[in-house]
Each structure stands twice: as C-alpha cells, then as structure tokens.
C-alpha cells in the first residue's frame, strides 16, 4: 500500500507541474508569492457566497488586531497587479492554500482548499464575452494537454475529455432542462457535452434564483453581454466518468468595474462594504481592469487520476464516518 501511495504522489506532482507550466504559458503569467492570512476588516478576503465564516485569530504583536485565513485570493490578486505594476496582457499566478471550515464534507469537498489563483491585467475594451471565451479556451487547452501528458506517462490512466469546451449561459441551461435543480442541470449538460463553461453564475435567472452563489465584489455577473444575457463570468465543469456527475474545476471571470461593483453591492444588500480598503480603491479607479479565477489543484488531480474521493489526492481532516466509508469502498486517503 505504501508503494501505491508513493506512486500516486508522483503522478500528483506530474499533474501539478505540467498544468502549472502550461497555464503560465497559455495566459502569459508569472508566478508570485501569496499570503495565507490577511487582516480582517479590509475587504480583501474572498466572501465566497457571503455566509461562510473564515478562521479568525488575534495577533499579539499587532495589539490583538484580528486576522483571517483566506478563503481565496480573488481580491488580493487584483491589488497585487497594481502593486507590482503588471502591464496589460500579463498576469500573476500563485499556489493558494486556504481553509473553509463551513464547507460540507463530501467525496469532492474538504475544509482544505488548494488552487492555482491567477489574475491578468486587461484593457477596459476586453471586458466582453469574446475575450472571456478565448481565455476559458486557453485554460481548457492546458487541462487537455495535462491529461494527455499523464496518459503518455501512465498508459492505464485514460483520457476522457472532448476536443473543445462548450459555452452555455445559466439561463440557457434553465430553459434547456426545465423543472430540474441547478445541480441536475449541470449533470445533464456535463454528461451531454463532456466539458462546459456555464456563464453568468451569481445573477438571478428568469425563475428568480441564481444558478449558484457568487460574491458581489469580484466576478462581474450582472453586466449585459454580447449574447443578450447578464454576466461575464462562470464555471468550468467537466463530466466525471468515475463519479458520473458534473465536476467543477474552476470558478473565474472578468472582474467588476466601478459600475458593476456598485450595482452588485446594492443587489446583494452589502453597500456598507464600500468603506473597505479594496472597495474604496476600486471605486476611486485605483485598481486595474482584470480577469481571473481559481483552478482547483486537488480537484484537477482527482479528475486526472480517476479518483473517487478528494482525500486520495490531499491531506485534510475528515470525520471518522467519512474515513470508515472510504475504507469500506477500498479508497485509501493520504
């Protein structure tokens, strides 16, 4: 068993090294260092759906000022683009590590999160659907390339992704699969297309509900796009042939400008955030226009290795019942 786990660790390293290098090349990124914690009350931490609690603690040497472990670096990266004076057409990427203690355990969810967090400086004129799709396609090319490299090195690990990724708006999914929940719609579409990018996640659809939650202050899910729908963001979803379900590997999008931020803060009833550091900088025009997102490292490794549980590719804390169920199913966690 130890040899099997060691071999799995070698494949994980191959996946991470290959994809990271390909992502840097496809999107013209440079790798940078990033924080595990940020000061509370700055608006820098990612609010996810707006209800998840961060890990919080006082810092003795800063007069007990509270700090929080990051959920992700969605807003920190945009500030970093400015601080590093990154030119248009270039971006940054970092190995983000986070804790999300409110995450519900499942075969694909853990309280420990690891992802490639990236952000790219763009022109205001590039805040459109065509540019979003081109960027998504480049990321998908990196995923496809990695899948092929893994197969070339380990012939027993078969490829399963289609040649191209399909683009579809969340409203189109709603109309295509009436009477289904959002997750059921994702499953149906992922099974049909193999790989898809669902556009416009966070804004309300014609049924009065968003496809999924999204914070108000990073992705732009409200601006009307070239197809007549709202949103310049979305999720990359793959069909997982092992779990036989839709499998999200990335959340990303063109970021809010001043107009979109004001609109989305109002819609989410959190206009009080305008007084926070990040939001003030954005509203005063001090931050660059950007596109960015996170790509799950453990998620991608799990997909490539045809794993049945995310604990097979990352070390985390699991309830006894979760470990027992895994062992009964012949799943050996790290």
Q: What pLDDT is stored for residue 49 in this prediction? A: 60
Query: Does the residue 165 lie in any domain?
Result: no
The helix or strand, by DSSP H or E, that contains position 77, with its residue range, turns out to be helix 74-83
Q: What is the pLDDT of residue 98?
A: 87
Q: For residue 254, is it within any domain?
A: no
Per the CB < 8 A criterion, the answer to whether 293 and 250 are in contact is yes
Output the pLDDT for position 15.
96
pLDDT for position 93: 98
Sheet holding 245-254, edge to edge: 29-31, 91-99, 112-121, 290-296, 245-254, 233-240, 195-199, 166-169
CA-to-CA dists, residue 69 to 44, 189, 241, 318, angstroms: 11, 35, 34, 19
**Confidence at residue 50, expressed as pLDDT on a 0 to 100 scale:** 60
What count of Cα atoms within 13 Å lies in the side-chain half-sphere of residue 220? Answer: 24
Parallel, antiparallel or unpaired: strands 56-59 and 195-199: unpaired
Q: What's the pLDDT score for residue 274? A: 92
The pLDDT profile of the chain, 334 residues, written as one tens digit per residue, is 578 888 889 999 999 999 999 999 999 999 999 999 888 877 777 666 666 788 888 999 888 998 988 887 888 999 999 999 999 999 999 999 988 888 888 888 888 999 999 999 999 999 999 999 999 999 999 999 999 999 999 888 889 999 999 999 999 999 999 999 999 999 999 999 999 999 999 999 999 999 998 989 999 999 999 999 999 999 999 999 999 999 999 999 999 999 999 999 999 999 999 998 889 999 999 999 999 999 999 999 999 999 998 989 988 888 888 888 888 888 888 7
Residue 123 maps to a domain: yes
Catalytic residues: 46, 100, 115, 235, 248, 251
Tell me whether residue 97 is exposed, middle or buried, using C-beta atoms within 10 angstroms of its C-beta: 0 to 12, 13 to 18, 19 or more: middle
| Residue 102 lies inside a defined structural domain of this protein | yes
Per-residue confidence (pLDDT) for residue 306, from 0 to 100 = 93
Domain annotation covers residue 175? no
Q: Are 213 and 278 in contact (CB under 8 A)?
A: no
| CB 288 within 8 Å of CB 258 | no
Residue 24 belongs to some domain of the structure: yes
Query: 3-state DSSP call for residue 105?
Result: coil
pLDDT at position 48: 62
Whether residue 55 contacts residue 36, with contact meaning beta carbons closer than 8 Å, is answered with no
| C-alpha dihedral sign at 100, 104, 110, 116 | negative
Domain that holds residue 26: 2-160+260-328
Whether 185 maps to a domain, the answer reads: no
Buried b (16+ CB within 10 A) or exposed e, 265-284: beebebeebeebebbebbee
Give me the number of domains the chain comprises. 1
The per-residue pLDDT for 42 is 77
pLDDT for the residue numbered 47: 65
CATH number at residue 69: 3.30.930.10
Secondary structure (3-state) at 31: strand
Does 255 map to a domain? Answer: no
């Amino acid at each position: 068993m130890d040899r099997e786990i060691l071999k799995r660790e070698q494949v994980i390293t191959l996946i991470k090294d290959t994809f990271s290098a390909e992502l840097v090349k496809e999107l013209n990124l440079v790798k940078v260092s990033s924080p595990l914690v940020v000061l509370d009350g700055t608006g820098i931490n990612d609010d996810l759906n707006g209800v998840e609690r961060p890990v919080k603690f006082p810092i003795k040497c800063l007069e007990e000022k509270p700090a929080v472990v990051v959920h992700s670096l969605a807003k920190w990266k945009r500030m970093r683009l400015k601080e590093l004076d990154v030119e248009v057409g270039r971006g940054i990427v970092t190995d983000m590590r986070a804790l999300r203690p409110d995450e519900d355990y499942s075969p694909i969810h853990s309280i420990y999160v690891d992802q490639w967090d990236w952000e790219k400086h763009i022109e205001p004129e590039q805040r459109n659907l065509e540019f979003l799709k081109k960027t998504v396609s480049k990321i998908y090319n990196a995923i496809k390339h990695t899948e092929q490299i893994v197969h070339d090195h380990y012939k027993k690990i078969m490829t399963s992704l289609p040649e191209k990724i399909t683009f579809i708006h969340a409203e189109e999914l709603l109309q295509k699969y009436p009477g289904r929940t959002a997750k059921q719609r994702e499953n149906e579409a992922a099974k049909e297309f193999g790989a898809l990018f669902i556009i416009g996640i966070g804004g309300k659809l014609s049924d009065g509900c968003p496809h999924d939650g999204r914070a108000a202050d990073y992705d732009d899910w409200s601006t009307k796009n070239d197809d007549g729908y709202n949103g310049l963001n979305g999720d990359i979803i793959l069909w997982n042939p092992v779990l036989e379900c839709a499998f999200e590997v990335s959340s990303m999008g063109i970021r809010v400008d001043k107009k979109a931020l004001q609109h989305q803060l109002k819609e989410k009833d959190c206009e009080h955030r305008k007084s926070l550091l990040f939001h003030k900088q954005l509203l005063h025009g001090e931050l660059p226009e950007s596109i960015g997102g996170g790509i799950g490292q453990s998620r991608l490794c799990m997909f490539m290795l045809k794993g049945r549980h995310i604990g097979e590719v990352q070390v985390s804390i699991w309830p006894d019942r979760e470990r027992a169920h895994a062992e009964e199913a012949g799943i050996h966690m790290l």
